[in-house]
């Protein structure tokens, strides 16, 4: 569906997007994450054909965006972070105008507008001037214009901005509905929204793609073990064959907690080492990380971004070897 290869965008000496590659299949819901300036918006503008890449390629359904920009744009619905609207127009008039810009035939426009209004829960505001709407309702108008022409790809930049909790739930449901017939890319700084609606996440850092993984794979990453004991075990654990790194974690229960970078198969050796050291083992289990923990790890400012993304976790910002000292 979407194939991005070695995508790069420079502004003079500044590289906004640096050698990024990823593939997205039909019907996927993908979250695009990163701090401000990480390159998210630049990628979205290039995907939608509004910005030329400096290098690399973008293919949509086999079409090269450099050669078939208008054809590709006709297949994409785009909600920019600050969607331009005409405040003096009513919602229904604005959407009718947008339908014409999207190339919806005149005989189909009324139905297309009515469908978009229904899907975005704008019926009560259809005849209201946009300038009288709250930010949340304006955001819904922006989503409505993005789906008027029933696009194959929907790209949403901060779609829940300004929405109240009820509207956020409605937006999540709409994104799930859109994925039945379209590929959806959601860019947001709200990690909970990605966890709620997305199946896969792309994390950008300093212009580079540092994580490309399914959310369930991230949470099942079994390459780190959590160990809880009743005393100082830092040096003991660091000496176990197969343990690459050790970090002591804070705890308030009187126990000592350690995070090991190691495969699950190392578990029995860890247990034996703890027992031979005369310590009591209270817990030994694979770490389960949520998206917030992964994001914090891979976007740490004190580590350089890795040269290539991983499907589970990046190498550069991994836990440092820190044997605890008593």
- What is the domain-level CATH number for residue 96? 3.40.50.300
Average of pLDDT values for 209-224?
A: 80
- The residue ranking higher by pLDDT, 164 or 45, is 45
In a domain, residue 313? The reply is no
In a domain, residue 10? The reply is yes
Q: What's 233's domain CATH number?
A: 3.30.70.1710
One domain, residues 111 and 184: yes
Residue 149, classed as helix, strand or coil, is: coil
One domain, residues 139 and 250: no
Q: Residue 199: its pLDDT value, please? A: 92
Total of domains in the chain? 2
- The residue ranking higher by pLDDT, 176 or 319, is 176
Q: Residue 322: its pLDDT value, please? A: 34
- What is the tens place of the pLDDT at every residue in 162-176? 788 888 888 898 898
One domain, residues 75 and 192: yes
Residue 288 pLDDT level (bands cut at 50, 70, 90) = confident
One domain, residues 183 and 258: no
pLDDT at residue 27 tops 70: yes
Residue 232, classed as helix, strand or coil, is: coil
Average of pLDDT values for 4-27?
A: 96
| Residue at which a domain ends, from 186, 218, 250 | 218
Q: For residues 150 and 249, give the distance between their C-alpha atoms in angstroms, rounded to a whole number.
A: 50
Closest to 33 (Cα-Cα) out of 172, 157, 153, 188: 188
One domain, residues 213 and 226: no
Q: Residue 252: its pLDDT value, please? A: 65
Residue 317 pLDDT level (bands cut at 50, 70, 90) = very low
Q: For residues 43 and 321, give the distance between their C-alpha atoms in angstroms, rounded to a whole number.
A: 35
Residue 3 phi/psi, 5-degree rounding, is: -130, 115
Q: Residue 123: its pLDDT value, please? A: 94
Q: For residues 53 and 57, give the distance between their C-alpha atoms in angstroms, rounded to a whole number.
A: 8
The per-residue pLDDT of the chain, averaged, comes to: 87
Place of tokens 């009560």: 124
In a domain, residue 305? The reply is no
> What are the residue ranges of helices labelled H in 63-162?
69-73, 91-101, 106-119, 135-147
Q: For residues 155 and 132, give the distance between their C-alpha atoms in angstroms, rounded to a whole number.
A: 26
Q: Which two tokens stand for residue 107?
A: 């005989």
Q: For residues 193 and 172, give the distance between their C-alpha atoms in angstroms, rounded to a whole number.
A: 8
pLDDT at residue 290 tops 90: no
Q: Which two tokens stand for residue 94?
A: 């604005």
Residue 182, classed as helix, strand or coil, is: coil
Q: Residue 36: its pLDDT value, please? A: 85
Q: Residue 185: its pLDDT value, please? A: 97
One domain, residues 172 and 46: yes
Q: What angle do CA 51, 53, 54 make, to 5 degrees?
A: 130
One domain, residues 66 and 203: yes
Residue 227, classed as helix, strand or coil, is: strand
In a domain, residue 148? The reply is yes
Q: Residue 302: its pLDDT value, please? A: 56
Q: Which of 175-189, 214-228, 234-248, 303-317 has the lowest mean pLDDT?
A: 303-317
Q: For residues 150 and 73, give the distance between their C-alpha atoms in angstroms, rounded to a whole number.
A: 12
One domain, residues 81 and 121: yes
Q: Residue 287: its pLDDT value, please? A: 76
- What is the tens place of the pLDDT at every residue in 69-96? 999 999 999 998 877 788 899 999 999 9
In a domain, residue 299? The reply is no
Residue 325 pLDDT level (bands cut at 50, 70, 90) = very low
One domain, residues 76 and 22: yes
In a domain, residue 128? The reply is yes
Q: For residues 273 and 165, give the distance between their C-alpha atoms in angstroms, rounded to a whole number.
A: 50
Contact at 8 Å (CB) between 318 and 247? no
pLDDT at residue 215 tops 60: yes
Q: Which two tokens stand for residue 14?
A: 């500044």
In a domain, residue 325? The reply is no
Distance of CA 109 to the CA centre of its chain: 33
One domain, residues 94 and 231: no
One domain, residues 156 and 89: yes
- What is the tens place of the pLDDT at every residue in 220-279? 655 788 899 999 999 999 999 999 999 998 776 778 999 998 888 899 999 999 999 999
Range of the domain at 268: 222-288
pLDDT at residue 281 tops 90: yes
Spell 26-35 as b/e; 16+ CB within 10 A means b: eebbbbbbbe
Q: For residues 159 and 79, give the distance between their C-alpha atoms in angstroms, rounded to a whole number.
A: 7
């Amino acid at each position: 569906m979407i194939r991005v290869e070695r995508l790069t965008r420079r502004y003079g000496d500044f590289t906004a997007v640096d050698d990024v590659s990823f593939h997205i299949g039909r019907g996927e819901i993908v979250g695009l994450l990163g701090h401000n300036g990480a390159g998210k918006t630049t990628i979205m503008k290039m995907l939608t054909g509004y910005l030329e890449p400096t290098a690399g390629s973008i293919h949509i359904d086999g079409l090269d965006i450099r050669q078939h920009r208008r054809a590709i744009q006709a297949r994409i619905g785009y909600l920019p972070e600050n969607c331009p609207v005409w405040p003096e127009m009513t919602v229904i008039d604005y959407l009718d105008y947008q339908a014409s810009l999207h190339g919806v035939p005149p005989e189909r426009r009324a139905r297309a507008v009515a469908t978009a209004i229904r899907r975005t829960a704008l019926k009560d505001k259809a005849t209201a001037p946009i300038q009288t709407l709250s930010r949340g309702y304006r955001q819904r108008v922006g989503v409505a214009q993005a789906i008027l022409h029933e696009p194959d790809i929907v790209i949403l930049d901060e779609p829940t901005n300004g929405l109240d909790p009820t509207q956020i739930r409605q937006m999540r449901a709409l994104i799930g509905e859109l994925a039945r017939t379209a590929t959806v890319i959601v860019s947001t700084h709200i990690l909970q929204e990605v966890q709620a609606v997305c199946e896969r996440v792309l994390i950008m850092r300093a212009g580079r793609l540092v994580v490309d993984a399914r959310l369930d794979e991230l949470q099942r990453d079994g390459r780190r073990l959590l160990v809880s004991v009743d005393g100082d075990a830092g040096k003991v654990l660091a000496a176990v064959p197969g343990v690459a790194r050790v970090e002591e974690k804070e705890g308030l229960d009187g126990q000592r907690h350690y995070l090991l970078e190691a495969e699950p198969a190392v578990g029995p050796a860890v247990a034996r080492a703890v027992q031979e050291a005369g310590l009591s083992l209270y817990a030994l289990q694979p770490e389960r990380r949520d998206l917030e923990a992964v994001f914090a790890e891979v976007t740490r400012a004190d580590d350089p971004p890795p040269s290539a993304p991983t499907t589970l976790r990046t190498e550069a910002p991994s836990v440092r070897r820190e044997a605890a000292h008593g």
